[in-house]
Amino acid sequence: MKGGSRSGNVVIFRFCHLKVRSRDCTILRMTIPVCFPRPFPDAARLKPDGDLTETLALSYRRAGLPGHVLAALSGGADSAALVCMLSSLREEWGFSLEAVHVNHGLRPEAGQDEDFCRQLCALLSVPLTVRRIFLSGKSEDEARRLRYAALREEAEKRGAGVAAAHHLRDQGETILMNLMRGSVRGLGGMREICRLGEKTVLWRPLLSVSPNILRSYLAERGIPWTEDATNSDTRYLRNAVRHDILPLMEKARPGALRHIVGTGIVLREESDWLDGEAAAVIRGRCAVDPFPFISAPALYASPPVLRRRCLRLFLEALGAGDQADARLIGALAGLDEGASFAVRGGYTAVRGKEYLYFVPSVPAAALRPAESPFTGDVGDGRRTQSLSAALYRSCVTRYPLPGDVILPFGHRSRRTLMEYFGKMKTDRYFRLRIPVVASGNEVIWAVGVGASELARRTSPGEERLLLSWPHPLPGDADGSLFTTQQPTMGGAKP
């Protein structure tokens, strides 16, 4: 019987679902009851052969010897094989294992896939968490984003790392898709170990393993898996690459897949080196909060290839990495002094003499200064300033508005706030993002610039406060940006 084998009187189907094509070319689906082998293979039989075990062991060490692993389980052959293999190695290697199944509800068979995962994990004695997510549409991109968000949330609850079953062919497909999209850094493909959010690490131990090996591993042990019919729909780019493009490439040049993946490894290493060089150029010479900028002399004195990578790193830090295509990077890299360029996401890039500014269309809400009791320190007028408590309670902290005035410290006549900023040589692009403590249109303190004469006026016995500004100001470089550290999975043992 095709798709199955016999063990005694039990029929073991390697596919949960079969699909047939009727005369009118409509795809029909037939659900086949899933039969697991009885008795189910023990850990010794589930353990992969020597080469595959060595592949997993080397990757496990590179991941930092995680003590708690959360495996993503869809029910497909790849994830089923990964969970089975990890379950056979957990006692020997000393880690705890759980699985998470995310039910998107996109397909009629989603409930059957969930049932399959429950049965498999019960037989393996692997705790399973099922997350059901609701999509606004039938977008694969949205499903992927919400799936990874669910995995990250579950991992953070446990302090675990996430293990995913992406394999050699997935890697080759990803590299080709990124080439089609014009993603320069994407030519390195997926990383074996990378961050999934700030606290969680994503581990892909099977990136060098062919999917045929994973299916053979399951078939030899009589373990079934599920098949997603949408994986054959070539309207999706990945499926077109898998079923049409890669087979043609393999036919024209046998071994093309491994050559593509091998080239991706080299490109990733070179890209990582270039990232480090670019980070060294702009580290301590840029900021994303509260006003994004990069030092123009440092950026534009760099060779074009390094300049482009600096811009790509900065846009990613700014949260606009998905906009960093060749057109935008090229435009910013060649921007003349005084010229501007619109960046999707609410910024306009403007090149000045000292800075390349990213002017936000909507500024963030102004923060407030910290308050402490007055001890005799009148402040420096920039980061700290003493003030009458009664006067401060009549003030608000905001950004400059038209009509604002200030009586500069030590002066007798008022000026408009913009005239004052000009006199103080405040960068003109930063002026509208400088926090001010103001009562009506009367500015008492322009944080980072100077205070009003009114700030030192007080009545005998009147309570005073010392205000301090602990937040970044426009023009403050952020030295913590682009400090990199190789991620390792949570719960790592020495």
The identity of residue 425, as a single letter, is K
C-beta neighbour count of 441 within 10 angstroms = 14
Q: Residue 105 phi/psi, 5° resolution?
A: 70, 20
Q: What is the pLDDT of residue 484?
A: 59
Lookup: tokens for 465: 């406060």
Rounded to whole angstroms, the Cα distance separating 418 from 428 reads: 9
State the DSSP string of 126-179: --EEEEE---SS--HHHHHHHHHHHHHHHHHHHT-EEE----HHHHHHHHHHHH
Q: Residue 111 phi/psi, 5° resolution?
A: -65, -35
Rounded to whole angstroms, the Cα distance separating 63 from 488 reads: 5
Rounded to whole angstroms, the Cα distance separating 324 from 330 reads: 10
Rounded to whole angstroms, the Cα distance separating 437 from 439 reads: 7
283-360: what fold?
3.30.465
Rounded to whole angstroms, the Cα distance separating 412 from 406 reads: 11
Q: What is the pLDDT of residue 323?
A: 76
Q: What is the pLDDT of residue 33?
A: 55
Most distant CA pair in the chain, distance: 102
Q: What is the pLDDT of residue 264?
A: 97
Residues 6+ apart with CB under 8 A from 260: 172, 175, 176, 249
With DSSP H G I counted as helix, E B as strand and the rest as coil, what are the percentages for the chain, rounded to 5? 40, 20, 40
C-beta neighbour count of 19 within 10 angstroms = 12
Ordered per-residue pLDDT tens for the chain, 494 residues: 334 443 333 333 334 443 333 333 333 333 445 678 888 998 899 999 989 999 999 999 999 989 999 999 999 999 999 999 999 999 999 999 999 999 987 777 888 999 999 999 999 999 999 999 887 766 777 888 899 999 999 999 999 999 999 999 999 999 999 999 888 889 999 999 999 988 899 999 999 999 999 999 999 999 999 988 888 889 989 999 999 999 999 999 999 999 999 999 999 999 999 999 999 999 999 998 888 999 999 999 999 999 999 999 999 998 887 777 888 999 999 999 999 999 987 899 999 989 999 988 877 777 889 999 988 888 888 999 999 999 999 999 999 999 999 999 889 899 999 999 999 999 888 898 899 999 999 999 999 999 999 998 877 778 999 999 988 888 888 888 887 555 655 443 32
Would strands 464-468 and 384-388 be described as parallel, antiparallel, or unpaired?
Answer: antiparallel
Closest C-alpha among 253, 57, 79 to residue 167: 79
Closest C-alpha among 122, 196, 186, 103 to residue 488: 196
Domain residues of the chain, as ranges?
A: 4-262, 283-360, 370-468
Whether the CB-CB separation of 306 and 278 falls below 8 Å is answered with yes
Whether the CB-CB separation of 106 and 135 falls below 8 Å is answered with yes
Using DSSP, state whether 438 is helix, strand or coil: strand
pTM to 2 decimals?
0.79
Lookup: tokens for 322: 């998905």
Rounded to whole angstroms, the Cα distance separating 470 from 430 reads: 18
State the DSSP string of 141-152: HHHHHHHHHHHH
4-262: what fold?
Rossmann fold (3.40.50)
